[in-house]
Amino acid sequence: MSEAIREGGCGCGATKYRVTGEPIFVNNCHCRQCQQQTGSTSVVNAFYESERIEVLNGDLSEDQFVAGSGGPHVIVRCSACHTALWSHYPRLGRHGLGLRAGTLDDPGSITPDAVIWLQDKMPWVALPDGIPHFDQYYDFREVLPQDRQERLLALATKAKG
Ligand SMILES: [Zn+2]
Ligand SMILES: [Zn+2]
């Protein structure tokens, strides 16, 4: 069976990327940091091993923030228009990334596994049917199938290095 291939890019069109395979997990995060960094209700992050993403065109730039956990949160952007394309979070370091699903050419091809940080959710936002939701974060063992748990654990082990 061939792996899924998805492409996406920034707002100005200078940067295009390709990502291979299905994500390990996908979060729709309503935390205050995601609200501020996107100017929106929430963000949809699809997490992959970093080697699954390939830049086809354009140049990247980076900004570093302090993550909710206190570690470095690196946002990778198109260097021309500064659209945020993906992030490296402290837990997985540079080995993993959270792709901003809204930058995919077909963002509807990815469905969140969980809706998280409902304690910060804007009060008028309705929750989707059939997707587990949590006040803060969740235990991935309760949500992810075995094969994806194993991919996540392999990445977390690498990140601890
Ligand atoms: Zn751009
Ligand atoms: Zn968040």
% the chain with pLDDT above 70? 99
At residue 23, does pLDDT exceed 90?
yes
CA–CA separation, 7 and 43 (whole Å): 18
- The edge-to-edge listing of strands for the beta sheet with 53-57 is 5-9, 16-20, 53-57
Q: Which CATH number fits domain 5-160: 3.40.50.720, 3.30.70.340, 3.40.50.300, 3.90.1590.10?
A: 3.90.1590.10
- 95 CA distance to ligand 2 middle (Å): 19
Contact (Cβ atoms closer than 8 angstroms) between residue 47 and residue 41: no
The pTM of the full predicted model, rounded to 2 decimals, is 0.95
- 117 CA distance to ligand 2 middle (Å): 7
Q: Give the number of whichever ligand sits closest to the CA of residue 85.
A: 1
- 11 CA distance to ligand 1 middle (Å): 5
Q: What stretches of the chain show up as alpha helix (H) in DSSP? A: 32-38, 146-160
Q: What is the mean pLDDT of residues 79-106?
A: 96
- Residues in contact with 4: Cβ distance below 8 Å, sequence separation at least 6, in sequence order: 20, 21, 22
Q: Give the number of whichever ligand sits closest to the CA of residue 10.
A: 1
- 41 CA distance to ligand 1 middle (Å): 22
- 2 CA distance to ligand 2 middle (Å): 32
**pLDDT (0 to 100) of residue 1:** 62
- 31 CA distance to ligand 2 middle (Å): 4
**pLDDT (0 to 100) of residue 67:** 85
Report the mean per-residue pLDDT for the chain.
Answer: 96
- 60 CA distance to ligand 1 middle (Å): 9
- 13 CA distance to ligand 1 middle (Å): 5
Contact (Cβ atoms closer than 8 angstroms) between residue 54 and residue 105: no
Q: What is the mean pLDDT of residues 61-81?
A: 93
